[in-house]
Amino acid sequence: MGMFTGKKGLILGVFNEQSIAWAIARIVLDEGGLCGFTHFPDRPDDPRQKNKGRLVKLTEGNPGAKFLAPMNVQSDADIAAVMEQAGRELGTIDFMLHSIAFAPPDDLRRDTVETSREGFKTAMEISAYSLIAVANAARNIYSDKASILTLTYFGGERAVPRYNVMGVCKAALDSIVKYLAYDLGPRGVRVNAVSAGPLRTVSGKGAGVDDMLFLYEAMAPLQRNITHEEVGRAGAFLLSDAAGGITGEILHVDAGYNIMGSPGRMLEKYKDVFVKQPQTV
């Protein structure tokens, strides 16, 4: 009997096999969970249907994948349609994973001070408000002890070069987690977030993940980077009944990087670079 045997839920926003959401979803499926998946809608005139195709490739033949559905979180009608389908095919849901974020590339590449008004509104609506939208739309289908999980990053807590406007969005998302945990608490619904260290994902490429991998390995207490599997297990834990007493939390899965107040062992290794040596006369 698996950790998710008899459990049903929604996985919102898997992009491809490198997605953190897929690392979590794969464990949920392996542990007996039944899942409905969403993807960003493809254009009707696009014969390739790439967004749907990637998800089909990942879930095809897996008995736990009950349905795939397009969903644009900027559309209340799309969100409502997914929740209606979830209610029809799954009944109540025990978990919901929110893995949805976007900023216009031009705005993401700019310094935060240069973010456009429209770019900010788009990034905030998709990356932060969407959690409120889907959490509210699912209120009629939650089970008594349902769990909601979203994905955040340390750039919402501290300034991280190149993360720019997305860091502002993650700061908002972190706050939303806490307020939704309060609002939905009386229903027994828990709301948490996983803050993963850098991984090679599509979104990670835009934030300079290769540079971050070097930094985390040098500074983190564990002296290494994390793996997709480690984040997957942590996320699955928070979605499961094993985390029944946890809500409103941000769980850092980053080899301890977030606790550091100095470069730590990195300073020892690169002391000649960081510390100017006194000159002798």
List strands edge to edge, sheet with 8-12: 65-70, 34-39, 8-12, 93-98, 142-152, 190-196, 250-253
Q: Which residue has the tokens 């014969």?
A: 47
Is the Cβ–Cβ distance between 74 and 100 less than 8 Å? no
163 is catalytic: yes
Cβ atoms within 10 A of the Cβ of 75, count? 13
Single out the catalytic residue among 153, 179, 182, 257. Answer: 153
Single out the catalytic residue among 163, 182, 257, 270. Answer: 163
What residues contact residue 175 under an 8 Å CB cut-off, 6+ apart?
none
Q: Which residue has the tokens 């769990």?
A: 147
- The 3-class SS string of 147-200 reads EEEEEECHHHCCCCCCCHHHHHHHHHHHHHHHHHHHHHHHHCCEEEEEEECCCC
Is the Cβ–Cβ distance between 97 and 10 less than 8 Å? yes
Cα four-point dihedral sign 111, 112, 114, 120:
positive
Extended beta strands in the chain, E state: 8-12, 34-39, 65-70, 93-98, 142-152, 190-196, 250-253
Is the Cβ–Cβ distance between 38 and 6 less than 8 Å? no
153 is catalytic: yes
Is the Cβ–Cβ distance between 192 and 250 less than 8 Å? yes
Rounded Cα distance, 29 and 217, in Å? 31
Active site residues: 153, 163
